[in-house]
Structure formats: structure tokens, C-alpha cells
Structure 1
Amino acid sequence: MTVEGLLIFLLIGAIAGWLAGLIVRGFGFGLIGNIVIGIVGAFFAGWLLPRLGVHFVAFGPFVNSVLHALIGAVILLAIVGVIRSL
């Protein structure tokens, strides 16, 4: 992975984490924590969603990547929120 690719990946994760924090209210970890969750969610979604056959083709590659990362971040925030509430 090139430096540019890594920076784009981190940017996508940051956007997804911020959006996931807005969607999953009450389970957020603040701005920095949600960005980290977004980056981890991008890795998670990059692994999980293709195995489930989920592909977005209607949008551009950047928007598709943000959607994948957003789904992963929302799932992670929901899981962490449930675990934290136990």
C-alpha cells in the first residue's frame, strides 16, 4: 500500500467514524474515539462485507468505500455499546 493509499484509507475511516457517531447516538466515544472506531470499522467491513456478497456499484469508488466503512463502524459501535452497557 502506498502512502497516498494509506492516507485515503485513514480519511475514509475518519469520515465513517464521524458519521457512525452521529448515527449511533449514546454509544459514541467522542470525536477521536469515533474516528478510531471508523478506521477499525473500515478494516472490519473490508473483510466482512465482500464475504457476505455486499457490493455497492451505483456510486463512485470513494462513496462506496465510505459506505462500507460506515457500515462496519456502525456495527462496531453498536457491539461496543451493548458490551459497555452490560
Structure 2
Amino acid sequence: MYFIWYIIIGIVAGLIAGKIMKGGGFGVLVNLLVGITGGVLGGWVFNLLGVSTTGLLGSLFTSVIGAILLLWIISFIRHPKKTDF
């Protein structure tokens, strides 16, 4: 049963993060992957900072923050800033 909740939270977190970072989502499959990976990344970062979240909303918040962080990192890899030398 928890697996289904992880999928639902991953889809919603990926969708929210996609709207915040780019103005639109990437599709259900990519939103799922970004949300789940973001949940792992957000949990790791929150653990480093000593922040603890519980419940459904806490999991969603952690996943959204992690997905935003993941999309921010990916944006640097895909579109590096050009310098004029």
C-alpha cells in the first residue's frame, strides 16, 4: 500500500516542482521520476539539516523541495552559463 502512496506523492511533487521551476510539467512518467528522486534527495537534505517531517503533507513537502532542488541542478547541467572571454 505504501508503494502506491509513493507513486502518487511522486507524481504530485514532480508536477508541482515542474510548474514552479519551468511553468509546466514534463508528463506523468517524468514527473513520477523527478518526484520520487526528489523525495529521496529532499529526505537526504532535510536529514543533513536536522529537519524532520511526518505524515502525508510532510512527505509531499519534502518531495517537492527535493524535486525543485533536482530540477535546479539539472538546469545548470543542461544550460550552462556562457562567458565572454
Instruction: State the percentage of identical aligned residues.
Output: 34
> How many pairs are equivalent?
79
Counterpart mapping for 1:71-82 below 5 A: 71-82=65-76
Counterpart CA distance in 1 for 2:65 and 2:52 is 12
* 1:17 aligned residue (3, 10, 14): 14
Counterpart CA distance in 1 for 2:48 and 2:68 is 18
- Tell me, what secondary structure is at the counterpart of 2:22? coil
Any runs of at least 4 consecutive aligned residues in structure 1 with deviations exceeding 3 A, and if so which?
none
Structure with more relative contact order (C-alpha pairs < 8 Å, separation 6 or more): 1
Taking structure 1 as the reference length, the TM-score comes to 0.79
For 2:30, give the aligned amino acid: G
For 1:10, give the aligned amino acid: I
State which structure, 1 or 2, has the greater radius of gyration over its C-alpha atoms: 2
* 1:30 aligned residue (26, 48, 54): 26
- Give the drift of 1:51: 2.1
Counterpart CA distance in 2 for 1:39 and 1:56 is 16
The CA RMSD measured in Å over matched residues stands at: 1.8
* 2:60 aligned residue (66, 71, 78): 66
Taking structure 2 as the reference length, the TM-score comes to 0.80
Unaligned 5+ segments in structure 1 are none
Structure 2 residue 40 is matched with structure 1 residue 5: no
